[in-house]
Structure formats: C-alpha cells, structure tokens
Structure 1
Amino acid sequence: MAQGVSMGVSILGIFVADLAFRSGRMPQVGETIMGSGFAMGPGGKGSNQAVAAARAGAKTTFISRLGQDSFGDIAMATWAAEG
C-alpha cells in the first residue's frame, strides 16, 4: 500500500442481543427446566467483527438494520462505546 493511503473496512451483517441463562444443570433433549438468572449482552457475527476491527484500529463502517426497541438501543450504545 502506498504511503499516506488509509484503508478501512466495511461490514454488512446483523446485531443480536445474546441471552445466556443460568441453571443448576443441562436440560435433557426436549426437557424444560427452571433457570436461576440470565445475562444479556451484544452479539451477532457482523457486529462482533465490526467491533473487533474498530478495536484493532481500522476505520470501520458497519451496515445493518435495527428495530426501534431496547435491542436497537443496546446496539447503538455498543457501537458508540467502541467508536
């Protein structure tokens, strides 16, 4: 690459809110058991790749579609925090 030329990365993908549930044991196939809590965090292959690229210092553009709901708010807050 020529000196002084800056390149970026564009990613087309999705954002999802990952939900992780806690339980005392793994359920059997088809079994429903009671959980004791859960954690929610940002995820989605495209979103994760965009965050990783930004953290690595790349000028990053992420192209996706969001709903106007709390999950969309989580996505926007995640990307704002990552720059």
Structure 2
Amino acid sequence: MIAVVGSLNLDLVAPVPRHPVPGETVLGGDIVEHPGGKGANQAVAAARLGGRVALIGRVGEDDAADVMAAAARAEGVDTAHLTRTPGVPTGRVR
C-alpha cells in the first residue's frame, strides 16, 4: 500500500489561443475545472502505475470536495482518509 499525504485542489483553467507578449491582453475561453493538487496528482499517478494507493488530505465541506474525492476514486485511489473541514472551502488554484 502506498500512502500519499498532500494537497487536493480544484484547478480553474481558462484556455487562451496563444501566449501574450509583454503588455498584451489575450482573451481566454470559458473557465473549466480540473482535479489537481500535488498530493492528488501523485496519488493518481501511482494508482495508474498499478499501485494500491490511499490519499490522506483535508478538503472543505463543499461541492469541490465532492468533485475531488470522486475523481480520485475513479482513478482507483482510496479516499477513506480524506478529512472534511466544515466552514472552509476546498483549495482552488487559478
């Protein structure tokens, strides 16, 4: 069994057609959400390589926590050790 202790974040990504040059504004597309966070990414990678993986981390008590837990479980990661904390949001990265 592999135990990963680390962060879980719901990444917010806006695609752009190209990188802007200094001082230029480039409009982005619709924002999409992707499960991420260093701990979650490592746990998923280890599971994809065939490991039995448990993810230990803390999330809020919100919809983002549900998305993160479901995404990890869908990849075969044991999420029984995720702790939900009332009153705080799950991490999000822009």
* Pair in the same fold by TM > 0.5: yes
- Whether the 8 Å contact between 1:66 and 1:72 is mirrored in structure 2 is yes
Cα RMSD (Å) of the superposition? 2.0
1:55 to 41, 48, 61: 48
Q: Which has the higher helix share?
A: 1
Larger Rg: 1
Measure how far apart 1:77 and its partner are.
Answer: 0.9
The within-5 A match list for 1:4-83 is: 8-23=1-16, 26=20, 28=22, 35-83=28-76
Q: CA deviation at 1:24?
A: 5.6
- Cα 1:24/1:52, change in 2 over 3 Å: closer
Runs of 4+ with deviation above 6 angstroms: none
Q: Structure 2 length normalisation: TM-score?
A: 0.66
How many residues are treated as equivalent by the alignment? Answer: 75
Among the aligned pairs, what percent are the same residue? 40
Contact 1:50 1:61 in 2 (8 A): yes
In the alignment, structure 2 segments of 5+ residues that lack a partner are: 77-94
The aligned amino acid for 1:20 is: V
Q: List alignment gaps of at least 5 residues for structure 1.
A: 1-7
